[in-house]
Chains A and B, each alone.
Chain A
């Protein structure tokens, strides 16, 4: 079992290589088989390795395998070492299992696309990069996966590159995440400078000693790493790329949002939690960013009419919850919410993709309507995801994971009432926009004719994900009912326990409040969008409400701000420098030599008498100088 886990990233890598070299020579059946099959094999092996890991956890707490030394320069010799511990296992499980379902779905969803092989090759590479990221034992290898994920997101968001808008969205995602990546690279340099190594386990074990006298050093490193995480996970203020990333095919959105890219930031902070714990300032920043993001994105989700954009803002908001949990030191709660969120968000995206395709690429929810009876299977699976997203108590897994975060935002030693209140209000908004989405899409009058219903390749993954969305939460139950802690027991060797600052026995009160928030949100949307829709019309009449609506709809004006702050000036400066100031030097040099050439060529008149005259004058000058000097 020790070595078997190497096959997990190896299969998708092989799939990627086959598809890239074969490209258009392969049949579509074979492409789908390789593309989806490789990830499915990885998922099967992950489950086997995972079961072995759970039944007899190795005494060290991890499997590790060194493949080769990457480079060897003086004191710097990073190795290609893969390491599987409990935290990696959770991520690998989500990546391969959900990734496999998304790949199967893609085989159906992309069936009529011309660039079948390119799609699956990019998807496989995406999975490989993400696996490398979570399995890396040193930060350099992690950074390789980190950048690979960024590259693949660029390739896939701009997959339908014939439309310039998609290319723009891809470039935007690439550029904005690059800002975070640069900060993270600087952070890695600082870590190497301080620790002399990039191996994660060595950093974790020596961090307290190395950084004890140097809290500001820990803060700087933690903030730089946080900036990297913010970029990848689309948190404030680098979140603007994610809604535009909806330009890619729906399975790509599902993969980015559920299993791979946006969770990379969560993983990074969880993996290097020791450094964050040394700097209370940085950890507080993580919590504040998470809280602010979940609020900002939630309000935006409430106003969107493109179903995929609602889900995109919802992802930003849910990742905000994970950051909040990381910030208050509730490490397991964050990872737990990551896992649960991956199930229901993948489900929601895939179901939304199925709807969009059946309605002839109609993205606008307000042009859907009445799908409840026409697409019953999609309705029920979507409902399962929505219930989990809205955190309906007891029956949905989303409740168990989100309630935990709400509780820790209040009760953890680093939590405080403000954080709790924002998270509480966020839960209310989440329920409201989820209900709005359900009502507008599935109820009311049908507004668009249905083309064809999705095939088996697309519906089976939906059903599997729906089941997991409902039951995945039951592996971790709150203290007051059941106190069943399979998940946090698994992660307990990796993370320190969360310290509480209040009595545990008040937890039921906060659970009750969370339930109230959820049902309040559901009720609000029920009134405004189902029972008395004229109210929303009346609300839109008032200038204030309409102004706020437009403000939230445009994502709080972040795009406009960045356009006027960075893009505008940049375009202006490059407009001034259109003729390239630096290039002037070289143009000058070439113009100068050209002039000298013309002068000299004028002396070559061909007139023999001029040459002789020149010689005579030269001789006179030389002789004259001889005499004078």
Chain B
């Protein structure tokens, strides 16, 4: 089945999603939401890979997406563990309150 959606549109969507993700990471104070935003960025990247793989009929894009999924799963598990620890230590999820590693 030949796709009718032009690749530019898909890339635009992926770009927008990625930008939204970045904005989320930068703007949000809550660590949980920052983690979610990172997931959005990863998904945007995955979408771009899928679209590119479909456009040039190469399996590499899908392979890459499987990698990204695996990485995202690992990242989330570590991230959640970190968040639990941070909350345990500081009784807060505000990233601005964790400025102890300054120079």
Which of A340-348, A534-542, A602-610 contacts the other chain? A602-610
Candidates B96, B101, B102, B103; contact of A609 at CB < 8 Å? B96
CB distance from A80 to the nearest CB of B (A): 64
Task: Convert B91-103 into 0s and 1s, putting 1 for each residue whose CB lies closer than 8 angstroms to a CB of A.
Answer: 0000110111111
**Which residues of chain B are near A613, meaning CB under 8 Å?**
26
Candidates B22, B26, B103; contact of A601 at CB < 8 Å? B103
Taking a contact as CB atoms under 8 Å apart, the answer to whether B103 and A608 are in contact is no
Taking a contact as CB atoms under 8 Å apart, the answer to whether A616 and B103 are in contact is no
Quick one: given A612-B25, A612-B26, A616-B22, are A600 and B99 in contact (CB under 8 Å)?
A: no
CB distance from B30 to the nearest CB of A (A): 11
Task: Convert B19-61 into 0s and 1s, putting 1 for each residue whose CB lies closer than 8 angstroms to a CB of A.
Answer: 0001001100100000000000000000000000000000000
Taking a contact as CB atoms under 8 Å apart, the answer to whether A608 and B102 are in contact is no
Query: Which residues in window 69-103 of B have CB below 8 A to A?
Result: 95-96, 98-103
**Which residues of chain B are near A604, meaning CB under 8 Å?**
101-103
Cα–Cα, bound, A223→B95 (Å): 85
**Which residues of chain A are near B103, meaning CB under 8 Å?**
600-606
Taking a contact as CB atoms under 8 Å apart, the answer to whether B96 and A605 are in contact is no
Taking a contact as CB atoms under 8 Å apart, the answer to whether A606 and B101 are in contact is yes
Quick one: given A601-B103, A602-B103, A604-B102, are A609 and B22 in contact (CB under 8 Å)?
A: no
Taking a contact as CB atoms under 8 Å apart, the answer to whether B96 and A607 are in contact is yes
**Which residues of chain B are near A609, meaning CB under 8 Å?**
25-26, 29, 95-96
**Which residues of chain B are near A601, meaning CB under 8 Å?**
103
| Closest residue of B by beta carbon distance from A619 | B22
Cα–Cα, bound, A604→B26 (Å): 17
Taking a contact as CB atoms under 8 Å apart, the answer to whether B99 and A616 are in contact is no
CB distance from B48 to the nearest CB of A (A): 15
| Closest residue of A by beta carbon distance from B22 | A616
| Closest residue of A by beta carbon distance from B19 | A616
Cα–Cα, bound, A604→B95 (Å): 15
Name the residue among A600, A606, A613 with the largest chain B CB count within 10 angstroms.
A606
CB distance from B93 to the nearest CB of A (A): 12
Cα–Cα, bound, A606→B95 (Å): 10
Cα–Cα, bound, A182→B61 (Å): 84
Taking a contact as CB atoms under 8 Å apart, the answer to whether B95 and A608 are in contact is yes
Taking a contact as CB atoms under 8 Å apart, the answer to whether B26 and A605 are in contact is no
CB distance from A251 to the nearest CB of B (A): 70
Candidates A608, A612, A616; contact of B98 at CB < 8 Å? A608
**Which residues of chain A are near B95, meaning CB under 8 Å?**
607-609
| Closest residue of A by beta carbon distance from B23 | A616
Taking a contact as CB atoms under 8 Å apart, the answer to whether A606 and B100 are in contact is yes
Query: Which residues in window 379-411 of A have CB below 8 A to B?
Result: none
Cα–Cα, bound, A607→B100 (Å): 8
Task: Convert A588-623 into 0s and 1s, putting 1 for each residue whose CB lies closer than 8 angstroms to a CB of B.
Answer: 000000000000111111111100110010000000
**Which residues of chain B are near A605, meaning CB under 8 Å?**
99, 102-103
CB distance from A597 to the nearest CB of B (A): 9
**Which residues of chain A are near B98, meaning CB under 8 Å?**
606, 608
**Which residues of chain A are near B26, meaning CB under 8 Å?**
609, 612-613, 616
CB distance from B50 to the nearest CB of A (A): 22
Name the residue among B96, B98, B99, B103 with the largest chain A CB count within 10 angstroms.
B103
Cα–Cα, bound, A612→B23 (Å): 10
Cα–Cα, bound, A609→B26 (Å): 5
Cα–Cα, bound, A612→B26 (Å): 7
**Which residues of chain B are near A608, meaning CB under 8 Å?**
95, 98
**Which residues of chain A are near B100, meaning CB under 8 Å?**
606
Cα–Cα, bound, A601→B102 (Å): 8
Taking a contact as CB atoms under 8 Å apart, the answer to whether B99 and A607 are in contact is yes
**Which residues of chain B are near A603, meaning CB under 8 Å?**
103
**Which residues of chain A are near B101, meaning CB under 8 Å?**
604, 606
CB distance from B80 to the nearest CB of A (A): 16
Cα–Cα, bound, A604→B99 (Å): 10
Cα–Cα, bound, A356→B50 (Å): 112
Taking a contact as CB atoms under 8 Å apart, the answer to whether A606 and B99 are in contact is yes
| Closest residue of A by beta carbon distance from B25 | A612
Cα–Cα, bound, A600→B103 (Å): 8
**Which residues of chain B are near A606, meaning CB under 8 Å?**
98-103
Cα–Cα, bound, A609→B37 (Å): 13
**Which residues of chain B are near A612, meaning CB under 8 Å?**
22, 25-26
Cα–Cα, bound, A609→B97 (Å): 11
CB distance from B99 to the nearest CB of A (A): 4
Cα–Cα, bound, A613→B27 (Å): 10
Cα–Cα, bound, A603→B101 (Å): 11
Cα–Cα, bound, A239→B95 (Å): 83
Cα–Cα, bound, A602→B102 (Å): 8
Cα–Cα, bound, A330→B72 (Å): 108
CB distance from A288 to the nearest CB of B (A): 76
**Which residues of chain A are near B25, meaning CB under 8 Å?**
609, 612
**Which residues of chain B are near A607, meaning CB under 8 Å?**
95-96, 99, 102
**Which residues of chain B are near A616, meaning CB under 8 Å?**
22, 26
Cα–Cα, bound, A607→B103 (Å): 11
| Closest residue of A by beta carbon distance from B31 | A608
| Closest residue of B by beta carbon distance from A604 | B103
Cα–Cα, bound, A325→B103 (Å): 81
| Closest residue of B by beta carbon distance from A613 | B26
Name the residue among B29, B96, B100 with the largest chain A CB count within 10 angstroms.
B96
| Closest residue of A by beta carbon distance from B100 | A606
Cα–Cα, bound, A531→B95 (Å): 110
CB distance from A612 to the nearest CB of B (A): 5
Name the residue among A603, A607, A608 with the largest chain B CB count within 10 angstroms.
A608
**Which residues of chain A are near B96, meaning CB under 8 Å?**
607, 609
Cα–Cα, bound, A613→B103 (Å): 17
**Which residues of chain A are near B99, meaning CB under 8 Å?**
605-607
Cα–Cα, bound, A112→B14 (Å): 103
Cα–Cα, bound, A608→B33 (Å): 14
CB distance from B31 to the nearest CB of A (A): 9
B residues whose Cβ falls under 8 Å from a Cβ of A: 22, 25-26, 29, 95-96, 98-103
A residues whose Cβ falls under 8 Å from a Cβ of B: 600-609, 612-613, 616
Which 6 pairs show the lowest CB-CB distances between chains A and B? A604-B103, A606-B102, A606-B99, A601-B103, A606-B101, A605-B102
| 22 cross-chain CB contacts under 8 A | A601-B103, A602-B103, A603-B103, A604-B101, A604-B102, A604-B103, A605-B99, A605-B102, A605-B103, A606-B98, A606-B101, A606-B103, A607-B95, A607-B96, A607-B99, A609-B25, A609-B26, A609-B29, A609-B95, A609-B96, A612-B22, A616-B26
